[in-house]
Amino acid sequence: MLHRLGIFFFLGLFALACVPSLGARGEDAVRLDGPLVQGGLVRGFAPERARVTLDGAVVPVAEDGRFLLGFGRDHPANSVLEVHLPGGASLRRELGIEQRSYDTRRVAGLPPRLVNPDAEGLRRIAADRARIVAVRAAPPTPPVFASGFAWPALGPVSGVFGSQSIMNGEARAPHNGVDVAAAIGAPVGAMADGTVVLAEHDMYLTGQSVLLDHGLGLNSVYIHLSEIAVAAGARVRKGQIIGRVGGTGRVTAPHLHWGVNLGQTALDPALLVGPMPPLAP
Ligand SMILES: [Zn+2]
């Protein structure tokens, strides 16, 4: 597991200092905070009204210049960040993205109907997926994650980000979150301040599911819950209980599956938080 949080990159101080229209204020610098690694989330700070692109795709920027960059499981080794300033100056920076290797996870003995759903199951899976894609495609909201990130549940980590699942001998999509093997009924807290944008009680694969929006496209999911304690539209604070651990949907044992996305790109939740805190005795 990588623990590379807190790395600071100061970009382009020199590039901006020579543009007279920007003035000489220190906050005119473009700064990145976070791990440049596959699965990593990086917080960016640019001057107000800057326009930011990553590999040509427009990155949402908050009114105060904050933005987020996310690098997916298989992100290539290089990316190009461009920041265009209101006065016409621009900054181009090549980012080297650390490449990772991933575990293979073998799960055997699953009921065949869960590994190979019937036609009705496939229809429901497609409808659930479309719903979640649509929620994640909503226009970006202002950032509310300034108070940071926390583990949503405590317990043994039973599944890591990016692992390749082989279910009953068949390769499946890579694991796109972190599994915490807490007991049924254990509290699940919001990883950060946010808004409940989805609270569903019967999704085919994920069972009782909650999705939170944290702003600028950052969102988190909490699935297989036994109970949901919040309703769609509610504002939540970091650590607020949003539900309880369960075994609903497609699971072999009760656990919390915690996922973090930037837009549609799945990130590694473990990179947002420190080591798992010790369980209370
Ligand atoms: Zn999982």
> Does 113 lie in the same domain as 55?
no
C-alpha separations of 198 from 46, 165, 223 in Å: 31, 26, 11
Residue 270 CA to residue 259 CA, distance in Å, equals 10
184 and 137 assigned to the same domain: yes
Phi and psi at residue 186, to the nearest 5°: -65, 145
Q: Are residues 185 and 243 in the same domain?
A: yes
Residues 133 and 234 in one domain: yes
Give the CATH number of the domain where residue 15 resides: 2.60.40
For 112, which DSSP code?
H
Quote the ligand 1 centre to 91 CA distance (angstroms): 39
Does this model's pTM top 0.95? My answer is no
Final residue in a domain of this structure, among 96, 120, 151: 96
Q: What is the pLDDT along the chain (281 residues), one digit of tens a residue?
A: 334 433 334 443 333 333 333 333 434 579 999 999 999 999 999 999 999 999 999 999 999 999 999 999 999 999 999 999 988 889 999 999 999 999 987 878 777 766 788 899 999 999 999 999 999 999 999 999 999 999 999 999 999 999 998 888 888 889 999 999 999 999 999 999 999 999 999 999 999 999 999 999 999 999 999 999 999 999 999 999 999 999 999 888 999 999 999 999 999 999 999 899 887 66
Ligand 1 centroid to Cα of residue 166, in Å, is 13
Compute, in angstroms, the gap from residue 224 CA to the centroid of ligand 1.
9
In this structure, is residue 277 part of a structural domain? no
d(CA 245, CA 184): 5
- pLDDT, residue 7, reads 38
Whether residue 242 lies inside any domain: the answer is yes
Distance 41 CA to ligand 1 centre (A): 19
- Name which of 52, 8, 54 is nearest 31 in CA terms: 8
The DSSP bridge partners found for residue 213 are 195, 219
Distance, CA 104 to ligand 1 centroid (Å)? 14
Distance (Å) from CA 194 to ligand 1 centroid: 22
Say how many Å lie between the CA of residue 146 and the centre of ligand 1. Answer: 26
Tell whether 128 and 87 lie within a shared domain.
no
Per-residue pLDDT at 26:
34
- Per the structure, the count of domains in the chain is 2
Residue 80 CB coordination number (10 Å): 12
What's the start-to-end Cα distance of the chain, in Å? 26
In a domain, 249, yes or no: yes
Whether residues 82 and 108 share a domain: the answer is no
Q: How far is the CA of 45 from the centre of ligand 1 (A)?
A: 32
Q: At 165, list the tokens.
A: 């699942």
Answer yes or no: are the C-beta atoms of 31 and 45 closer than 8 Å. yes
Compute, in angstroms, the gap from residue 8 CA to the centroid of ligand 1.
Answer: 30
* Residues 127, 261 within the same domain: yes
Q: How far is the CA of 86 from the centre of ligand 1 (A)?
A: 43
> Ligand 1 centroid vs 251 CA: distance in angstroms?
9
110 and 212 share one domain:
yes
d(CA 221, CA 206): 10
Is 11 in contact with 29 (CB distance < 8 Å)? yes
Query: Cα(53) to centroid of ligand 1, in Å?
Result: 31
What is the whole-number distance in angstroms between the Cα of residue 102 and the centre of ligand 1? 15
Same domain, 205 and 171: yes
For residue 28, which of 91, 79, 80 has the smallest C-alpha distance?
91
Instruction: Quote the ligand 1 centre to 196 CA distance (angstroms).
Output: 20
Distance of CA 86 to the CA centre of its chain: 30
Helix (H) or strand (E) holding 13: helix 13-17
Cα(257) to ligand 1 centroid in Å equals 4
> 280 in a domain, yes or no?
no
3-state class of 41 per DSSP?
strand
Other CB atoms within a 10 A radius of the CB of residue 26 amount to 7
Secondary structure of residue 186 in the 3-state scheme: coil
The domain that holds 228 is classified in CATH as 2.70.70.10
As a whole number of angstroms, the distance between CA 151 and CA 57 comes to 30
Neighbours of 66 (CB within 10 A): 18
For residue 124, what are the domain limits?
104-272
Q: Are 132 and 197 members of one domain?
A: yes
Q: What is the C-alpha R_g of the chain?
A: 20
> What's the 135 CA to ligand 1 centre distance in angstroms?
20
Task: Decide if 31 contacts 42 (C-beta within 8 A).
Answer: no
